[in-house]
């Protein structure tokens, strides 16, 4: 008698498992990117060069003071990464903020931080000064 119900019951179990695998109501994370990172731009050297000197842009060099003094992008202000979260309020939220660091990693973290603080015109120069081959200022 039990064998009579075994095949239909097995079929129902397979269907339920298939639905759970496809729909997965227990899934908490999505495959999308971090929503914060999607709110700022990753820009290249050409784009940075086009923005330098624009009165509506602030270029922020996140490197240590010594490295900044050795050579930085003209017009960039220096707010070292270690001080950035304490000094970000020095930035004009109405301007586009372009972040520059050694390789781009500190810029990513700082861009995420600015977006969390309500800045909506934020960009990071991916690759940082390690790949910069444009003009440098020591003033």
Which has more pLDDT, 22 or 95? Answer: 95
CA pair distance 126, 58, nearest whole angstrom: 16
The residues, ordered by sequence, that sit 6+ positions from 78 with a Cβ below 8 Å of its Cβ are: 60, 61, 63, 65, 68, 72
CA pair distance 52, 74, nearest whole angstrom: 7
Q: Is 46 helix (H, G, I), strand (E, B) or coil?
A: helix
pTM to 2 decimals? Answer: 0.73
- What is the chain's percent helix, strand, coil content, to nearest 5? 45, 15, 40
41-137, CATH topology level:
Oxidized Rhodanese; domain 1 (3.40.250)
pLDDT band at 1 (very low <50, low <70, confident <90, very high): low
Q: What is the pLDDT of residues 48-80, one digit of tens each?
A: 999 999 999 999 999 999 999 999 999 999 999
Task: Residue 46: name the closest of 109, 127, 112, 101 by CA.
Answer: 127
Beta strands in 41-80 (DSSP E): 41-43, 57-61, 77-78
pLDDT for 19: 75
Per-domain boundaries in the chain: 41-137
CA distances from 35 to 10, 45, 50, 98 (A): 42, 25, 27, 19
């Amino acid at each position: 008698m039990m064998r009579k119900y075994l095949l239909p019951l097995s079929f129902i179990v397979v269907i339920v498992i298939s639905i759970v695998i496809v729909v997965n109501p227990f899934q908490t994370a999505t495959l999308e990117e971090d929503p914060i990172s999607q709110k700022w731009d990753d820009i290249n050297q050409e784009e940075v060069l086009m923005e330098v000197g624009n009165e509506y842009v602030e270029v922020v060099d996140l490197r240590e003071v010594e490295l900044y003094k050795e050579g930085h992008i003209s017009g960039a202000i220096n707010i070292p990464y270690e001080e950035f979260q304490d000094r970000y309020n020095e930035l004009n939220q109405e301007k586009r903020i372009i972040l520059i660091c050694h390789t781009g990693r500190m810029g990513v973290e700082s861009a995420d931080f600015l977006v969390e603080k309500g800045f909506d015109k934020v960009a990071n120069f991916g690759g940082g000064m390690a790949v910069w081959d444009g003009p440098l200022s020591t003033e």
